[in-house]
Chains A and B, each alone.
Chain A
């Protein structure tokens, strides 16, 4: 399945930009949360940006992405606008979901982003339905479902893999194994190797270093090729690491440590996907410091503008919940 294709320099720089945008947006949201600025909570994917960036680089607006509670990265990498993300999380009418969804439910259907889910694992059935729609459309489009190591213990994953394998649905499973589900290290709640579960359904499996964006990109190139050619689903298990707390309020409620500061610090120092890509680009003489800094600066500006947009936004009217609930039309 694997195509021996790697991202060229301009593609690498795109990946770098995407990761920087996610990083800055999420650092901002972390700061906003600490400052008491956010109406709700946020789950940040800092340290995991390479998975979103490498996978979504191969998708178009026609392809669908179903996401999780830790979904800002998926949203941004799939083409969602930073300003629509920030305004949404600020609870503003100008947000992608008009302030009705928030961090847990960011969606932009015009970009094929069919929603983040607050119910762990529940994006999997929704994505299965979207992949059935792709299959019926028969136009080479596909659906990607992102989910965590924790979500892989939901029964719907096995149900869905059976559907997708049986019907050869154009569905890519991306398990972001970030070593934890809430405050439980994966191995304490999960038997065996997660991606081995797909093998039982004869679904091709790839295991990849989820902090190496070029490796993710390359793995995805092969997977997308396989899926778009009508051969059915693929399962990618991306090994990565959650640098931040499970949610930003964690330190206030969790008193028993479930990992050491040293471990987190080591991962931050040695396995930062942005640093890993920049170092490689420089070592290979493909991009210099100035080029990387310019991308960094562009991303920062984009996020700053998004924050200004969110700040200037308006709270939605009080009675819109009922208005958005039903369309009230028929075909």
Chain B
């Protein structure tokens, strides 16, 4: 028997496979196609203090082996989540992680405080890296001082597992990772989307209503693997790796490079059953490599 269990702080996952925020809805959208109870966990949509309408259409542009999005954190707000969505998903036998966003430090703290009492939510993922909102979002994630400030404030308000999601749109991601580790983050997840842009040459206009947007999908994977490798060597807290994972082998790249768990994002769109395939692959991979516990493979890269 292979043991796929991994720990992220005090959060125990039955396997390292999570779904990425904004790409898996609230899980229920995939319930016909995926056994949600088999997932290590899922990170629900970016949740803010108040309702947000998000950006104007068009919000999406396909690019070679990737896509740009500018959804802009459309969601109905944390109170709606607690009243209407949490009761629907709380009994799924998989860890539910809420992705938290805000325009100000006090917003982030208010959302975290409201989520803290929910019994079946043992962790939050703090998004300090969204490129699609005008205020806040990425602004916090691109300076050490900003990242540290948000992390410190939420740490004081949120006693359970706190994962901080890092932006790749920085000169040195390891500095930001160290800054949030120093302020008490239990884990870091990376990468969020890379800032990108596409132009419609016939109309001579940007494709996205917001001009720029976030790039995701297989195209970003090598950048993400590199950053996971760098960050895992720079911090002691567990790293959650994501960016372009579209197969079991892709997932193992991140684990070997230093990730304790992984998230699958854009690949859910073109292969809704990808998470199940990755879990099967990991089991088989451990068998083939005579490994009892998948956590032994974290950072096992031979240099």
Partners in one complex: no
Q: Which residues of B are in contact with A by a Cβ distance under 8 Å?
A: none
